[in-house]
Amino acid sequence: MFANDLMRTTELFPDLSDDDPEARGTRIMLVRYQASAFYEFAKFVRQAEKLAVITTFIDGLPDEATAPYATMTDVAQRLGPWLRKHRNVTFHYAEMTQGKLDNDKDEVMGALVKAADNETFVRTGENVGAGYPFADEVVTQLFGITTERATQLREGVVAATDFALATGRVHIARQDPRVFNIA
Number of domains in the chain: 1
Percent helix, strand, coil in the chain, to 5, is: 70, 5, 25
- At 60 the pLDDT is 92
- At 61 the pLDDT is 92
Evaluate whether 69 touches 42 at the Cβ level (below 8 Å).
no
Could you tell me which residues are beta bridge partners of residue 129?
125
CA 135 from chain center: how many Å? Answer: 19
Q: What is the pTM of this model?
A: 0.75
Between the CA of residue 41 and those of 1, 112, 117, 120, 139, what are the distances in Å? 10, 31, 36, 35, 23
- At 182 the pLDDT is 61
- At 102 the pLDDT is 82
Whether residue 41 is contained in a domain is answered as: yes
Whether residue 116 is contained in a domain is answered as: no
pLDDT value at 183 more than 90: no
Whether residue 153 is contained in a domain is answered as: yes
Of 29 and 77, the structure prediction assigns the larger pLDDT to 77
Whether residue 54 is contained in a domain is answered as: yes
Q: What would the pLDDT profile of 138-150 be if each residue is shown by its tens digit?
A: 777 777 778 888 8
Q: In 3D, which of 134, 89, 132, 95 has the Cα closest to residue 113?
A: 134
**What's the chain's Rg over C-alpha atoms?**
20
Of 89 and 149, the structure prediction assigns the larger pLDDT to 149
Report the pLDDT averaged over residues 22-46: 86
Report the pLDDT averaged over residues 105-129: 67
Could you tell me which residues are beta bridge partners of residue 131?
123
**Percent above pLDDT 90 for the chain:** 19
Highest mean pLDDT (candidates 12-21, 52-61, 110-119, 174-183): 52-61
Domain extent for 80: 2-93+146-173
